[in-house]
Structure 1
Amino acid sequence: MTKLQELKRHLRSGKVYRREDLAQWSSSVDRHLQHLLAEGYLTKLSTGVYHRPKQTAFGKAPAEDNALVEAFLKDDRYLVTSPNAYNSLGVGATQLYNKTVVYNHKRHGNFTLGGREFEFRKKPAFPKTLTKEFLLVDLVNNLDHLAEDREQVLARVKERALQGNRSALNRAAKEYGMVRTRKFFNGLAADTHAG
């Protein structure tokens, strides 16, 4: 068995690899990478990040967002979302955005991975998974960047906030909200105590 065939045995279809992952199985990693890329066995997603595409009935399947992001960041602490997620809240957000946002602790900026655009935002804190409370807080945090009518959306967020799990929402606002966002949600708590 050649060294190249030996390397191929380690590469699972659908997985994303960094160059240093491959170096553990190959002493001539750059030469082997050139071969694997030339024959289409691997595809290059960004500098130092490669994908072993999974073959489907429709051709080669693209790498999954999570696999891409994790290999790019070399970290499993991140949260992938999109402004489209706000549409599920029922607060009048209906625009569709062609944007994938990645909250993480390491990188900031726009990066193209596997032919797709990702906006990486470095944040001190974010939840492991998307929750309704986090999305409401995140929506108010990002209101200036959305195409929706701000006043209408805020009025609906207020309605939703008053109907939902108040303690979870207050916790989310405290942990993930910008100053203005925290003031907005604290104001709602004060309104209900006054009323």
Structure 2
Amino acid sequence: MFLMKITQKIEKRINKIKEGTTFKYQQLPIKSNEYSAAAKAIERLIKKGIIKRVSTGVFYKPKQTVFGELKPNEEELLKAYLFQNNKRIAYITGISLYNRMGLTTQVPRIIKIASRDKRITVSIGNIKGNPVKSYVDVTDRNYILLEILDALKDFKKIPDLDKGSGIKIISNQLKKLNTKEIKLLINCALSYPPRVRAFLGSLLEQIDLSIELKTLKKSLNPLSEYNYGIDKKILPTTTNWNMK
């Protein structure tokens, strides 16, 4: 009877979950004293084909189409590892991110997962993920900004990158940010290497002269130079930030 109640409660919650979406035990209405019964209930639901297991403690609700069952996409499969207690603690970075941004056509064999305090290693079928340390704590508010900063950090190392196109892509992302997001971006940038701060300052100055950039300027050594090999015709403001 107890197991049946738990099963019904879990099924009710799963019915509300969108097809193709991953979830963990923490997202189910389970109390601490119900975990044993919940595990049995989950196994029953897996046998019925109502849900599928991605990895230990991670499941998904299959999406049915006229072509058969569709598995969650890569982003969705990794999502369960990017959150803890429904709070974002990590984000995908490296070549996988730069491919999604349109900065490279290359697809990495191993995905990089950035987090401040947690080392996240993933192995789901053909998907492999290795941990890297983020420069600041990752949140829902800042992870998109950290993606931009990572692209600036690795700009010289991104394979097959056309620098002119790359600057346009990143500039367009910066143009979409509001004043609060720009301030948060600059604050996050202060934890990144000086070359990233200089590059960001150059881009923001080119986009909008009214943006307050004193904090970025003061954080840089006026005698230091940052070699990105960017033509001044592409980004004229590089001179103001000791970039060459």
Q: Is it true that 1:19 corresponds to 2:25 in the alignment? A: yes
Q: Is it true that 1:80 corresponds to 2:80 in the alignment? A: no
Q: Which runs of 4+ in 1 moved over 6 A?
A: none
In structure 2, stretches of 5+ residues that fail to align are 175-181, 200-223, 228-236
Match of 1:192 in 2: 239
Distance 1:30 1:105, change over 3 A: same
CA contact (8 A) 1:42 1:53 kept: yes
Q: Where do 1:149-164 residues align within 5 Å?
A: 156=163, 160=167
Cα distance in structure 2, aligned partners of 1:79 and 1:64: 16
CA contact (8 A) 2:116 2:134 kept: yes
Count matched residues. 179
Cα distance in structure 2, aligned partners of 1:131 and 1:20: 27
Match of 2:149 among 112, 134, 139: 134
Q: Where do 1:30-41 residues align within 5 Å?
A: 30-41=39-50
The Cα offsets for residues 65-118 of structure 1, whole Å up to 9 and x where unpaired, read as: 4544443341324322441554634xxx55432343322234325311465222
Q: Is it true that 1:117 corresponds to 2:128 in the alignment? A: yes
TM-score normalised according to structure 1 size? 0.63
Distance 1:115 1:55, change over 3 A: farther
In structure 1, stretches of 5+ residues that fail to align are none
CA contact (8 A) 1:137 1:173 kept: no
Match of 2:52 among 21, 40, 43: 43
Secondary structure class of the residue paired with 2:92:
strand
Q: CA deviation at 1:29?
A: 0.7
Match of 1:8 in 2: 11
**% identical aligned pairs:** 18
Cα distance in structure 2, aligned partners of 1:62 and 1:6: 24
CA contact (8 A) 2:190 2:197 kept: no
Amino acid at match of 2:63: K
Q: 1 or 2 for the larger relative contact order (CA 8 Å, sep ≥6)? A: 1
Distance 1:49 1:171, change over 3 A: same
CA RMSD, aligned part only?
A: 4.4
Cα distance in structure 1, aligned partners of 2:74 and 2:22: 10
TM-score normalised according to structure 2 size? 0.53
Q: Which of 10-19 and 30-39 deviates more?
A: 10-19
Match of 2:109 among 80, 98, 114: 98
Match of 2:211 in 1: none
Q: Which of 96-105 and 46-55 deviates more?
A: 96-105
CA contact (8 A) 2:51 2:59 kept: yes
Distance 1:32 1:63, change over 3 A: same
CA contact (8 A) 1:63 1:114 kept: no
